[in-house]
Amino acid sequence: MEQDRHLLPILTQSPTFQQCTLVATIALFSWILIHRWSQRNKTGPKTWPLIGASIELLKNYDRMHDWLADHLSVSKTITVPLPFTTYTYIAEPSNVAHVLKTNFSNYPKGELYRSYMDVLLGDGIFNADGEMWRKQRKTASFEFASKNLRDFSTTVFRDYALKLSNILCNVSIIHQDIDMQDLYMRMTLDSICKVGFGVEIGTLSPDLPDNSFAHAFDEANTIVTLRFIDPFWRIKRFLNLGSEALLERSIKVVDDFTYNMIRRRKAEWNNNKMKHDILSRFIDLGKEPESGFDSDKSLRDVVLNFVIAGRDTTATTLSWFTYMIITHPKIADKLCMELKGFEEQRAKEENIKLITCDKDDDHSFESKVSQFAGLLNYDSLGKLSHLTAAISETLRLYPAVPQEKQDPKGAIRDDVLPDGTKVKAGWLVTYVPYSMGRMVYNWGPDAKCFKPERWLKDGFLQSFSPFKFSAFQAGPRICLGRDSAYLQMKMTLAILCRFFEFKLVPDHPVHYRMMTVLSMAQGLKVRVFRRS
């Protein structure tokens, strides 16, 4: 007791819990105020202690591409700290060239990025690094250069463009509003499954059936994109809750479809029914154990990477192109005139008498469209300079992959970009094609204007550095499917721009949806009219 009496003055002099809490609160608020005050002259998004720019990112998530463009128009490089990593966004060509080419070895995918995308892309070319990437790149490069694949793709793209044209013919008769983005997604899914798997899945049938694979693939694409700003996705995955539970179900549908296709194609291969599709080619290569394509899992990853590259990106660009010619009718008329001149010239070269038709007569109209499609091939499409320019201009303003979430670079070592920006080891560096196409410092004062003529000089196509026009990436990872994408887009749009006119359904909103590709949130609802 005597000892307790001696301790009493000490205890009464000790700070109370409430006092400690008050001191801690004051210290915390002081820390936050000092942190925020230190950013008063800082360019780029404002941050908070510990959580970085997460709040601002979440607030602007639905308009993130424009949010980034706003910041990058002020500063050519911005640094965005997040709880588990830091992003550096770049839009100036010399910085892009440094990351994608000059110091390429310092900027692989990195394990953090792979953890986000592994469930969908696996070890495919978009998700691979090092020797695994080099092997796939070499093989894919050889396959894309194959004349057999090119000729097969040309035939497939023409067939599906005609199927789309037939649907539009019927829609124009009954004056029915139609979602062009949905039709493009169906067409590109059917065509990439034909080119990739060698199978017909029939989503572009006249009755436009639902397809579980397409729905699940879109769902998975959206959810893995959300992972980049969702700090709790690992917890949700562990507990199998919310978006991660939906992702697991979607991936199961995707995998069931893909593995079934692999088994079918292997059975046909074993029965000497070799085909020209991409899967068949990789099954053939997989007979060599050293190839890395000897398992069903490796084949699954290969073809799904080609599907995400060839389906969504092409359909998205076709949708924005259609929107551009709707909002720029003079350009649509100019393209139609080019195509009519092309039609007459090609018919003369082939000694073909052109069919005359009444646009209100179904039979003659469809015959005319079919005859025109027969004049389109890989070489002849290369002569359509105005159409090609309009496609490139669409990609400049509306790149299919608006920011390279699909291909960010994880710095291995500390680095300094050409503009002096410091990048620490472990940070992710992302170039932003959507912003790059809108920057005055890249394209001049008319950067935000849709002007296909910027791609023409004296009537001939001109090109720009891929570090400036970055829609197909650049450097060692430049897109292998660029020519194939242009081939399908030119084949489809040549037919559509020659024979159809589109008008937007009144009051239909057009804005993008946040996912890996720049798809339209509510589709593209239009009314279709025939051209004679």
Residue 372 pLDDT level (bands cut at 50, 70, 90)? very high
Report the pLDDT value the prediction gives residue 48, as an integer from 0 to 100. Answer: 66
Choice between 467 and 215, residue whose per-residue pLDDT is larger: 467
Mean pLDDT on 252-273: 83
447: helix, strand or coil: coil
214, 208 Cβ separation under 8 angstroms: no
Residue 27 pLDDT level (bands cut at 50, 70, 90)? low
Choice between 114 and 478, residue whose per-residue pLDDT is larger: 478
Mean pLDDT on 425-439: 93
Residue 435: both structure tokens together:
């912003």
Residue 185 pLDDT level (bands cut at 50, 70, 90)? very high
Residue 8 pLDDT level (bands cut at 50, 70, 90)? very low
Q: Is pLDDT at 211 greater than 50 in this prediction? A: yes
Q: Is pLDDT at 41 greater than 60 in this prediction? A: no
Side by side, the strands of the sheet bearing 428-431 are 77-81, 86-90, 428-431, 409-410
Measured at the CA of 110, the angle between CA 109 and CA 112, to 5 degrees, comes to: 115
Residue 51: both structure tokens together:
């959580």
**Residues 66-107 pLDDT 10s:** 999 999 999 999 988 888 788 899 999 999 999 999 999 999
Gap between the Cα atoms of 104 and 64, Å rounded: 27
φ/ψ of residue 231, rounded to 5: -70, -10
Mean pLDDT on 246-252: 94
Gap between the Cα atoms of 473 and 466, Å rounded: 7
The length of the chain is 532
Could you write out the three-class secondary structure of 373-406?
Answer: HHCCCHHHHCCCHHHHHHHHHHHHHCCCCCCHHH
Mean pLDDT on 493-520: 93
Gap between the Cα atoms of 489 and 315, Å rounded: 9
Range name among 4-13, 279-288, 337-346 with the lowest pLDDT average: 4-13
Gap between the Cα atoms of 65 and 226, Å rounded: 14
Could you write out the three-class secondary structure of 114-165?
Answer: HHHHHHHHCCCCCCCCHHHHHHHHHHHHHHHCCHHHHHHHHHHHHHHHHHHH
**Residues 141-155 pLDDT 10s:** 877 777 888 898 999
Please state whether the predicted TM-score (pTM) of the whole model is above 0.75.
yes
472, 466 Cβ separation under 8 angstroms: yes
Report the pLDDT value the prediction gives residue 11, as an integer from 0 to 100. Answer: 44
230, 257 Cβ separation under 8 angstroms: no
Report the pLDDT value the prediction gives residue 106, as an integer from 0 to 100. Answer: 93
Range name among 249-258, 266-275, 286-295 with the lowest pLDDT average: 266-275
> Which residues lie across from 88 on neighbouring strands?
79, 429
CA distances from 527 to 164, 180, 300, 379, 504 (A): 15, 9, 39, 32, 6
Provide the annotated binding site for heme: 479
**Residues 396-420 pLDDT 10s:** 999 998 986 556 788 999 999 999 9
Report the pLDDT value the prediction gives residue 23, as an integer from 0 to 100. Answer: 66
Residue with tokens 């995308």: 117
Q: Is pLDDT at 5 greater than 60 in this prediction? A: no
Gap between the Cα atoms of 510 and 525, Å rounded: 9
Q: Is pLDDT at 319 greater than 80 in this prediction? A: yes
For the chain, the domains span 44-530
> Which residues lie across from 416 on neighbouring strands?
422
φ/ψ of residue 456, rounded to 5: -120, 140
Provide the annotated binding site: 479
> Which residues lie across from 504 on neighbouring strands?
526
| % of the chain beyond a pLDDT of 90 | 50
Report the pLDDT value the prediction gives residue 102, as an integer from 0 to 100. Answer: 95
CA distances from 19 to 10, 11, 12, 25, 181 (A): 16, 14, 13, 10, 62
Report the pLDDT value the prediction gives residue 82, as an integer from 0 to 100. Answer: 81
Choice between 490 and 268, residue whose per-residue pLDDT is larger: 490
Q: Give the sign of the dihedral formed by CA 365, CA 370, CA 375, CA 376.
A: positive
Gap between the Cα atoms of 278 and 484, Å rounded: 13
Report the pLDDT value the prediction gives residue 344, as an integer from 0 to 100. Answer: 93
449, 434 Cβ separation under 8 angstroms: no
Q: Is pLDDT at 175 greater than 80 in this prediction? A: yes
Report the pLDDT value the prediction gives residue 33, as an integer from 0 to 100. Answer: 59
Choice between 97 and 115, residue whose per-residue pLDDT is larger: 97
Mean pLDDT on 122-133: 77
54, 229 Cβ separation under 8 angstroms: yes
> Which residues lie across from 179 on neighbouring strands?
525
Report the pLDDT value the prediction gives residue 511, as an integer from 0 to 100. Answer: 93
Q: Is pLDDT at 432 greater than 80 in this prediction? A: yes
CA 490 to chain centre: 18
Among 452, 242, 460, residue whose Cα is nearest residue 331: 452
Q: Could you please report the per-residue DSSP string of 304-350? A: HHHHIIIIIHHHHHHHHHHHHHHH-HHHHHHHHHHHHHHHHHHHHHH
Gap between the Cα atoms of 140 and 475, Å rounded: 16
Residue 56: both structure tokens together:
């601002």
Range name among 125-139, 242-256, 293-307 with the lowest pLDDT average: 125-139
Residue 12 pLDDT level (bands cut at 50, 70, 90)? very low
Q: Is pLDDT at 50 greater than 90 in this prediction? A: no
Q: Is pLDDT at 45 greater than 60 in this prediction? A: yes
Mean pLDDT on 112-140: 78
Which distant-in-sequence residues (6+ apart) come within 8 Å of 243 by Cβ?
223, 226, 230, 233, 236
Mean pLDDT on 9-30: 62
Structural fold of domain 44-530:
Cytochrome p450 (1.10.630)
Gap between the Cα atoms of 96 and 139, Å rounded: 26
Q: Please provide the average confidence, as pLDDT, over all residues in the chain.
A: 86
314, 304 Cβ separation under 8 angstroms: no
